[in-house]
């Protein structure tokens, strides 16, 4: 065994995140780690890499007990990690990022030519051809991930841990990444892969380990389980079948919000959009195509510099988020860590925050009311937390996302913008969130969903807007809303549905 | 109530420890007598002398909670003290003097707040401007001299007593309660913590972070004005050069001893005030102990370092872990026997 | 050697051009960081006016580079002499040499520099040790053999006035075994700290009953301490004798009110002796002593403190 844990246990106040977990990783395999949000996957990883200190249990590397006290030590032992959020330095060059901490030096000075050569060498074999002298932020997230992998492999070389590496990649980029992973597997690395995308899991993994509530549930070869069995193991019960009946939009236009010619120079070309009451609008497009930029214009986070917005009562003020919220808008952003959660504040405070901000500082929501609301949403969205007072930053990624959803639902908005609402959310919660969308839409809320998961878009949307190159290029309605048509509309300008039919 | 107690427990323990330390040198620490209609004793000295730092710490706590810092409070004290003395000197009377001084403090805070919130200047730089220029402004007001005055009503704020208790102590207690209620009985405290933890996310949540930031700096200016009034009334004169000199550092220290993170977020005004009292007890203790002056700063620094290290959330668990890690390694063979209990749940298919 | 010749030729030259004409003298002042400094500026201007001297004044705002720039500009203007109150002791060599080459005599006021004494004509200042000694001697006489426990408010720790005034006072009371310094703490030369530290002295010394006298290194601290004594219910000037140094206006008010007993003057009139020396030098080339010590005059309640206050209150203290 390359790397194993024996009875690994880790307790946080109120939570047993890992309960005597035993786990084995062989050399030359991709081992997927699966489980619901809060099952303990990230915690297991962090114990392996020394980011957390285990309470008890052993970690064996090639049979030898190890005690990594920091990620640096773990790296030196041979365990490298790439997290979902790329944690490299965006304004250093690719070469600097790759060689940071071990740059070739002469007399204390960094030798940049040697450094660049070394970086080129490190990247060779990863199938990407980039200029290592450019800064990292000039490349896509996928390339950044691969750079991070190259660095981790170079420094550690035995075990590579990937915690939700594909969450913000599109299909093509995922393939690019998987090519790299397969290659590394062939070179004999042991790879731990965490993801909520079951298709990807089946595509790349050799074996699976499932955790639930901090316990080891099962380990088996990937070929021996099917999707439904796997979901049942993860959830501990069968997934309730989606009862997706799309609500009819109220198309009389009476309560519609009309955006005409809104846009922002350099970010998104002016576009028109009419949002009807009780309607779900999907928005599809590649990463960086202008989806998030559209959402920010609609919410006033990056206010429009042209056009008008009106509803049945007249013009709508979208000068800034405050104004938008006052107008009944809500926006759950894509990057929950920097734009969403207030990490140190409790789950309760995070949930009531938007509502409180709208009421103003002088009218605090009574404590009892806050507790009631928090408990209500914790139950409704199945947020896994020991209690409402836990700082939200300590929740698992998927549960943080649910807290943000709760925050906006609490304001009872009329127009809710969700940017990648199911990213990092487990299959069970995924279904719950889709059901939730159906619910609130049935009550008359309008929703704009931005998502890279086309199945999800197709499942919930009444119509889908396709964004390409910072322009709204087409709109699909009715029968045209299928993954196929969306893929084609995203891909090429001459393949819009009109052109193909 | 119990959560508040739990929050300030480290500060309370520290205060007790420091008092005990002082009592070693000065056993009659708690001896308080009532003479001339005033209470006299070391604790009374502490709560009186600690007034400026306690007041500054109240405002500083809020500023630091927003992930900012206000270096200008010492200079603002000088400006406000000078304004008050000037008003008295001009014969405007007590109330006008108070009003002018407080307005001056609010204006200084507004200036800082605008620089930070509207012009996006880093707080440390933004407030440095007034820290440097402020004493010059105060000099202009006093005309470069110690502007002395004779006004018993105003002096009362610095050296009078209310039911035997020094008025400066009454002022900081009331201010502390006032600010405490203001932030905890409304949503202000929550909103301030929110922008301190994550400004961008807070703005996206609809918090008016700009106005809030400005208000917080104005609050700090207001507290500095009160401190300046007390310092001026105490010596019956406005000393533009020395009023509040270096007190911004003591105020920041008080906030830190109060366990508030300089990275913003959660804050406790009560803990900061206790921090101020800890610092003042040390200061008073050093004066009473009668060491040569050369040792003052060294003793203070050593005590502060000990306090901060002991309060650090990392130190104690760290020591515990290191100790346990050693034991783990030495007991290795015994432990691996218990690793079977979970095998039953494995479903190897 | 070269410098000496230069100086001599200065003498000859100015002697020829010299006396009787309205002179132009440049004055580079440190700044106005204290009341005393402001008074020095005022007095210098008054003295210049009384003597019909055209005084060019430059305020350096505590920065040496400003002072050097001011000196250069004085040299360029071809003033007859320069008064310099140096903000620091070092770094003056080159600009003083420039002045010497331009044959302009320089007189230092109040503080010294580390340069070769040949580069300046003379320095006018007070002897800080002597001031302390005067205060100490006054106390010996005032208590007249009775036992006396003294508390001392020091200046800023490590500063030369604090060190010298402490030493001077100790020399002054050296012979008197009845006088003992029981507590000594820094009050940073400020009123606030003077008051605060005095409060702690009172606290530590049996509510002040065990204290016979206070010696403060400057008047400001004494003024603060007097308030502390009053608030403790004692009578400053009677229950506790108060002696301090500087003779700023506020201490005269305290003297007049019987709340202070004595102060030793640090005169702001450094320019008077400086102008005298320059006059003599221009008149017949008389080289003054390298250090001209100003008088450290003792004022007590008997020296018409009210009148002294009136005379000083507008000097800018
Ligand atoms: N630093 C911490 N302090 C307290 N509790 C924590 C901490 N880190 C994790 N937890 C808790 O431990 C549990 C497991 O969290 P973990 O992050 O390992 O879940 P996960 O399986 O990675 O979930 P996700 O799929 O949502 O990322 C959660 O209940 C979480 O709230
Ligand atoms: Mg996770």
For residues C105 and C75, the answer to whether their CB atoms sit within 8 Å is no
Residue A245 resides in a domain = no
Nearest to A139 by CA among A97, A197, A200: A97
**Per-residue pLDDT at A70 exceeds 50:** yes
Q: Quick one: average pLDDT of A469-480?
A: 88
The number of beta carbons lying within 10 Å of the beta carbon of residue A24 is: 17
Instruction: Tell me what pLDDT residue A101 has.
Output: 75
Tell me: do A130 and A180 sit in the same domain: yes
Residue B246 resides in a domain = yes
- CATH for A72: 3.40.50.300
**Per-residue pLDDT at A460 exceeds 90:** no
For residues A161 and A48, the answer to whether their CB atoms sit within 8 Å is yes
Domains of chain C, start order: 20-126+268-286 (3.40.50.2300), 128-266+301-312 (3.40.50.2300)
**Per-residue pLDDT at B316 exceeds 80:** no
Q: What is the longest distance spanned by two Cα atoms in chain A?
A: 76
For residues A51 and A69, the answer to whether their CB atoms sit within 8 Å is no
Tell me: do A445 and A373 sit in the same domain: yes
Tell me: do A208 and A264 sit in the same domain: no
Instruction: Tell me what pLDDT residue A61 has.
Output: 92
Mean pLDDT across chain A: 87
Tell me: do A56 and A102 sit in the same domain: yes
Residue B61 resides in a domain = yes
Mean pLDDT by 10 residues, chain C (317 residues): 46 43 86 82 94 93 91 95 92 94 94 90 94 96 94 92 94 94 94 94 92 96 96 94 95 96 95 93 91 94 94 84
Give me the residue from B38, B159, B288 closest to C203, CB to CB.
Answer: B288
Residue A496 resides in a domain = no
The residues pairing with A264 across neighbouring beta strands, listed in sequence order, are: A268
Tell me if B200 and A349 make a contact (CB, 8 A cut-off).
Answer: no
Residue A470 resides in a domain = yes
**Is any ligand 1 atom within 6 A of the Cβ of residue A15?**
yes
Q: What residue numbers bound the domain in which B109 lies?
A: 7-291
**Per-residue pLDDT at B247 exceeds 90:** yes
Residue A432 resides in a domain = yes
For residues A437 and A445, the answer to whether their CB atoms sit within 8 Å is no
Give me the residue from A57, A342, A356 closest to B201, CB to CB.
Answer: A342
Nearest CA to ligand 1 atom 24: A37
Give me the residue from B186, B335, B347 closest to A218, CB to CB.
Answer: B347
How far is C-alpha B6 from the chain's CA centre?
Answer: 19
Tell me: do A72 and A178 sit in the same domain: yes
**B146 CB within 8 Å of a chain C CB:** yes
The residues pairing with C150 across neighbouring beta strands, listed in sequence order, are: C181, C213
Tell me if B204 and A331 make a contact (CB, 8 A cut-off).
Answer: yes
Give me the residue from B187, B197, B347 closest to A361, CB to CB.
Answer: B187
Tell me if B242 and C188 make a contact (CB, 8 A cut-off).
Answer: yes
CB < 8 Å to C200, chain B: 45, 284, 287-288
**Per-residue pLDDT at A266 exceeds 90:** no
The nearest CA of chain A is from the CA of B344 a distance in Å of: 9
- DSSP structure class, residue B240: T
Q: Quick one: average pLDDT of A462-487?
A: 88
**Domain endpoint, select from A206, A235, A264:** A235
For residues C218 and C186, the answer to whether their CB atoms sit within 8 Å is no
Residue B300 resides in a domain = no
CB < 8 Å to A321, chain B: 203-206
Tell me if A356 and B187 make a contact (CB, 8 A cut-off).
Answer: yes
Instruction: Tell me what pLDDT residue A363 has.
Output: 95
- CB neighbour class for C242 (10 Å; exposed up to 12, middle 13-18, buried from 19): buried
Q: What is the pTM for the complete model shown?
A: 0.86
Tell me: do A331 and A372 sit in the same domain: yes
Domains identified in chain B, total number: 1
**Per-residue pLDDT at B346 exceeds 70:** no
For residues A317 and A303, the answer to whether their CB atoms sit within 8 Å is no
Mutate to test the pocket of ligand 1, among A40, A161, A405, A433 (most ligand atoms within 8 A of CB): A40
Tell me: do A22 and A159 sit in the same domain: yes
Tell me: do A229 and A263 sit in the same domain: no
Residue B193 resides in a domain = yes
When pLDDT is cut at 50, 70 and 90, the band that residue B314 belongs to is low
Instruction: Tell me what pLDDT residue A437 has.
Output: 86
Give me the residue from C33, C184, C224 closest to B235, CB to CB.
Answer: C224
Q: Which ligand minimizes its atom distance to the CA of A425?
A: 1
**Is any ligand 1 atom within 6 A of the Cβ of residue A395?**
yes
Minimal Cα distance from B234: which residue of C?
A: C192
Tell me the pLDDT tens digit for each residue of A405-435. 999 999 999 999 999 888 888 888 888 888 8
Residue of B113 and A431 predicted with greater confidence: B113
CA distances from C195 to A121, A398, B56, B189, C199 (A): 72, 61, 20, 37, 6
What tokens does C205 get? 């010394």
Nearest CA to ligand 1 atom 2: A394
- CB neighbour class for B2 (10 Å; exposed up to 12, middle 13-18, buried from 19): exposed
Q: CA–CA separation, B231 vs B245, rounded Å? A: 11
Domains identified in chain A, total number: 2
Residue of A339 and B330 predicted with greater confidence: A339
**E strand or H helix that includes residue C122:** strand C122-125
The residues near B250 (Cβ < 8 Å, ≥ 6 apart) are B53, B56, B276, B279
When pLDDT is cut at 50, 70 and 90, the band that residue B121 belongs to is very high
Tell me if A349 and B190 make a contact (CB, 8 A cut-off).
Answer: yes
Tell me: do A136 and A208 sit in the same domain: yes
Tell me: do A334 and A216 sit in the same domain: no
For residues C119 and C93, the answer to whether their CB atoms sit within 8 Å is yes
- What percent of chain A stands above pLDDT 70? 94
Residue B329 resides in a domain = no
Residue B347 resides in a domain = no
Q: Quick one: average pLDDT of A475-493?
A: 83
- DSSP structure class, residue B117: I
Q: Report the 3 state secondary structure along C126-150.
A: CCHHHHHHHHHHHHHHHHCCCCEEE
Residue A357 resides in a domain = yes
What tokens does C196 get? 């605060």
Count of B-C CB contacts under 8 Å: 83
**Per-residue pLDDT at A131 exceeds 70:** yes
Handedness of CA A490, A493, A495, A496 (dihedral sign): positive
Residue of A127 and B323 predicted with greater confidence: A127
Any idea of the CA torsion for A11, A15, A19, A25, to the nearest 10 degrees? Answer: -80
The residues pairing with C26 across neighbouring beta strands, listed in sequence order, are: C56, C82
**Domain endpoint, select from A235, A267, A302:** A235
**A487 CB within 8 Å of a chain B CB:** no
What is the Å distance from ligand 1's center to C12 Cα? 92
When pLDDT is cut at 50, 70 and 90, the band that residue A242 belongs to is low
Residue A241 resides in a domain = no
**Per-residue pLDDT at B334 exceeds 50:** no
Instruction: Tell me what pLDDT residue A431 has.
Output: 82
Tell me: do A224 and A267 sit in the same domain: no
CB < 8 Å to B194, chain A: 342, 345, 349, 353
Residue B348 resides in a domain = no
Instruction: Tell me what pLDDT residue A110 has.
Output: 72
For residues A136 and A150, the answer to whether their CB atoms sit within 8 Å is no
Tell me: do A165 and A260 sit in the same domain: no
**A435 CB within 8 Å of a chain B CB:** no
Tell me the pLDDT tens digit for each residue of A159-181. 999 988 877 777 778 888 898 89
Lowest-pLDDT range, A455-469, B23-37, C84-98, C99-113? Answer: B23-37
Residue B301 resides in a domain = no
When pLDDT is cut at 50, 70 and 90, the band that residue A148 belongs to is confident
**Per-residue pLDDT at A233 exceeds 80:** yes
Q: CA–CA separation, A39 vs A426, rounded Å? A: 10
CB < 8 Å to A341, chain B: 198, 201
Instruction: Tell me what pLDDT residue B343 has.
Output: 35
Nearest to C295 by CA among C266, C257, C275, C252: C266
When pLDDT is cut at 50, 70 and 90, the band that residue B318 belongs to is low
Tell me the pLDDT tens digit for each residue of A354-397. 999 999 999 999 999 999 999 999 998 889 899 999 999 999 88
Backbone angles phi, psi at C103, to 5 degrees: 60, 40
For residues B149 and B236, the answer to whether their CB atoms sit within 8 Å is yes
What tokens does C181 get? 């310094």
Instruction: Tell me what pLDDT residue A409 has.
Output: 94
Tell me if A339 and B335 make a contact (CB, 8 A cut-off).
Answer: no
Residue of B144 and C129 predicted with greater confidence: C129
**A321 CB within 8 Å of a chain B CB:** yes
- Look at strands B38-40 and B33-35 and give their pairing: antiparallel
CB < 8 Å to C250, chain B: 146, 148, 237
When pLDDT is cut at 50, 70 and 90, the band that residue B315 belongs to is low
Q: What residue numbers bound the domain in which A463 lies?
A: 253-491
Q: What ipTM score was computed for the predicted complex, to two decimals?
A: 0.85
Q: CA–CA separation, C213 vs C228, rounded Å? A: 14
Mutate to test the pocket of ligand 1, among A42, A83, A195, A337 (most ligand atoms within 8 A of CB): A42
Residue A243 resides in a domain = no
For chain C positions 192-231, those within 8 Å of chain B (CB to CB) are 192-193, 195-197, 199-200, 203-204, 207, 220, 223-224, 227, 231
């Amino acid at each position: 065994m390359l790397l194993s844990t024996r009875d690994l246990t880790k307790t946080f106040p109120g939570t047993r995140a890992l309960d005597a977990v035993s786990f084995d990783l062989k050399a030359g395999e991709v081992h997927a780690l699966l489980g619901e949000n809060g099952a303990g996957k990230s915690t297991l990883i962090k114990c392996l890499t020394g980011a957390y200190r285990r309470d008890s249990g052993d970690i064996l590397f090639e049979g030898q007990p190890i005690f990594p006290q920091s990620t640096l030590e773990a790296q030196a032992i041979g365990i490298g990690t790439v997290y979902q959020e790329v944690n490299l330095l965006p304004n250093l060059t690719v070469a600097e990022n790759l060689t940071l901490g071990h740059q070739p030096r002469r007399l204390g000075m960094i030798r940049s030519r040697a450094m660049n050569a070394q970086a080129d060498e490190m990247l060779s074999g990863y199938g990407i051809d980039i200029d290592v002298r450019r800064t990292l932020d000039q490349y896509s997230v996928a390339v950044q991930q691969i750079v991070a992998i190259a660095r981790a492999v170079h420094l550690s070389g035995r075990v590579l841990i990937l915690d939700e590496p594909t969450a913000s990649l599109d299909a093509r980029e995922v393939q690019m990444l998987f090519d790299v992973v397969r290659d590394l597997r062939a070179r004999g690395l042991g790879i731990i892969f965490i993801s909520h995308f079951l298709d990807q899991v089946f595509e790349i993994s050799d074996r699976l380990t499932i955790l639930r509530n901090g316990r080891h549930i099962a380990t088996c070869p990937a070929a021996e389980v099917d999707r439904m069995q796997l979901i049942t193991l993860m959830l501990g019960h069968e997934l309730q079948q989606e009862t997706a009946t799309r609500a009819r939009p109220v198309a009389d236009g009476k309560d519609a919000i009309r955006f005409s010619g809104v846009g922002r120079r350099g970010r998104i070309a002016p576009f028109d959009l009419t949002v009807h009451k009780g309607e779900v609008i999907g928005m599809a497009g590649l990463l960086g195509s202008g989806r998030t930029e559209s959402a920010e214009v609609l919410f006033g986070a990056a206010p429009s510099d042209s056009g008008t917005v009106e509803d049945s009562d007249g013009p709508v003020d979208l000068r800034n988020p405050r104004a938008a919220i006052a107008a009944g808008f809500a926006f759950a952003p894509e990057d929950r860590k920097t734009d969403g959660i207030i990490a140190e504040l409790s789950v309760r405070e995070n949930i009531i925050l938007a509502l409180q901000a709208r009421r103003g500082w002088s009218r605090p929501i009574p404590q009892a009311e806050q507790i009631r609301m928090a408990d209500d949403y914790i139950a409704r969205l199945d947020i896994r937390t020991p209690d409402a007072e836990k700082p939200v930053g300590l929740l698992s990624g998927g549960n943080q996302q649910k807290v943000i959803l709760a925050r906006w639902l609490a304001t009872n908005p009329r127009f809710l913008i969700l940017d990648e609402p199911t990213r990092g959310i487990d299959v069970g919660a995924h279904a719950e969130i889709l059901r939730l969308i159906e619910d609130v839409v049935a009550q008359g809320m309008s929703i704009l969903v931005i998502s890279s998961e086309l199945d999800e878009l197709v499942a919930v949307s009444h119509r889908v807007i396709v964004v390409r190159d910072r322009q709204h290029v087409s709109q699909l309605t009715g029968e045209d809303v299928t993954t196929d048509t969306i893929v084609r509309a995203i891909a090429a300008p001459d393949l819009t549905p009109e052109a193909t039919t | 109530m119990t959560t508040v107690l739990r929050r300030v427990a480290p500060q309370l323990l520290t205060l007790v420890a420091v008092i005990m330390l002082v009592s070693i040198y000065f056993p009659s620490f708690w001896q308080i007598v009532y003479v001339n209609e005033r209470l006299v004793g070391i604790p009374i000295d502490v709560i009186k002398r600690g007034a400026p730092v306690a007041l500054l710490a109240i405002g500083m706590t809020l500023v630091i909670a927003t992930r900012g810092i206000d270096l200008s409070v010492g200079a603002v004290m000088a400006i406000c003290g000078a304004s008050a003395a000037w008003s008295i000197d001009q014969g405007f009377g007590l109330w006008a003097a108070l009003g002018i001084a407080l307005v001056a403090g609010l204006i200084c805070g507004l200036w800082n707040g605008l620089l930070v919130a509207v012009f996006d200047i880093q707080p440390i730089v933004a407030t440095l401007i007034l820290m440097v220029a402020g004493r010059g402004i105060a000099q202009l007001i006093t005309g470069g001299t110690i502007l002395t005055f004779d006004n018993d009503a105003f002096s009362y704020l610095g050296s009078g007593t209310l039911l035997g208790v020094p008025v400066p102590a009454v002022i900081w207690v009331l201010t502390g309660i006032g600010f405490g209620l203001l932030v905890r009985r409304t949503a202000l405290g929550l909103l301030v913590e929110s922008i301190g933890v994550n400004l961008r996310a807070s703005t996206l949540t609809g918090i008016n972070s700009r106005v809030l930031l400005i208000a917080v700096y104005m609050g700090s200016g207001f507290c500095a004005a009160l401190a300046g009034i007390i310092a001026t009334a105490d010596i019956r004169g406005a000393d533009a050069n020395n009023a509040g000199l270096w007190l911004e550092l003591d105020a920041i220290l008080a906030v830190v001893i109060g366990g508030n993170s300089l990275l913003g977020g959660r804050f406790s005004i009560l803990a900061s005030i206790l921090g101020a009292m800890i610092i003042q007890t040390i200061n008073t203790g050093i004066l009473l102990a009668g060491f040569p002056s050369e040792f003052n700063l060294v003793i203070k620094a050593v005590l502060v370092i000990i306090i901060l290290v002991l309060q650090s959330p990392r130190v104690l668990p760290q020591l515990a872990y290191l100790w346990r890690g050693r034991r783990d390694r030495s007991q290795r063979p015994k432990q691996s026997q218990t690793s079977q209990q979970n095998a039953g749940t494995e479903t190897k298919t | 050697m070269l410098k000496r010749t230069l100086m001599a030729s200065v003498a000859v030259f100015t002697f020829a051009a010299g006396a009787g004409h309205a002179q132009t003298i440049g004055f580079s002042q440190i700044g106005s960081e204290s009341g005393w400094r402001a008074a020095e500026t005022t007095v210098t201007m008054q003295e210049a006016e009384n003597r019909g001297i055209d005084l060019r004044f430059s305020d350096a705002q505590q920065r040496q580079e400003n002072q050097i720039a001011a000196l250069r500009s004085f040299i360029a203007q071809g003033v007859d002499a320069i008064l310099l109150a140096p903000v620091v002791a070092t770094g003056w060599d080159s600009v003083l040499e420039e002045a010497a080459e331009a044959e302009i005599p320089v007189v230092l006021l109040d503080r010294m520099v580390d340069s070769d004494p040949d580069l300046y004509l003379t320095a006018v200042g007070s002897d800080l040790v002597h001031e302390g000694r005067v205060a100490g001697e006054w106390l010996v006489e005032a208590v007249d053999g009775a036992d006396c426990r003294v508390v001392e408010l020091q200046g800023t720790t490590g500063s030369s006035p604090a060190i010298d005034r402490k030493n001077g006072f100790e020399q002054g009371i050296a012979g008197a075994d009845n006088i003992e310094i029981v507590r000594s703490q820094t009050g940073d030369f400020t009123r606030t700290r003077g008051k605060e530290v005095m409060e702690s002295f009172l606290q530590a010394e049996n509510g002040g009953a065990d204290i016979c006298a206070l010696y403060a290194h400057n008047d400001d601290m004494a003024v603060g301490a007097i308030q502390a004594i009053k608030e403790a219910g004692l009578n400053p000037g009677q229950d506790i004798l108060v002696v301090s140094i500087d003779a700023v206006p506020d201490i005269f008010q305290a003297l007049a009110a019987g709340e202070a007993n004595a102060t030793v003057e640090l005169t702001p009139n450094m320019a008077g002796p400086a102008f005298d020396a320059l006059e003599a030098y221009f008149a017949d080339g008389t080289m003054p002593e390298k250090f001209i010590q100003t008088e450290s005059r003792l004022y007590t309640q008997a020296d018409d403190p009210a009148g002294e206050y009136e005379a000083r209150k507008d000097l800018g203290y």
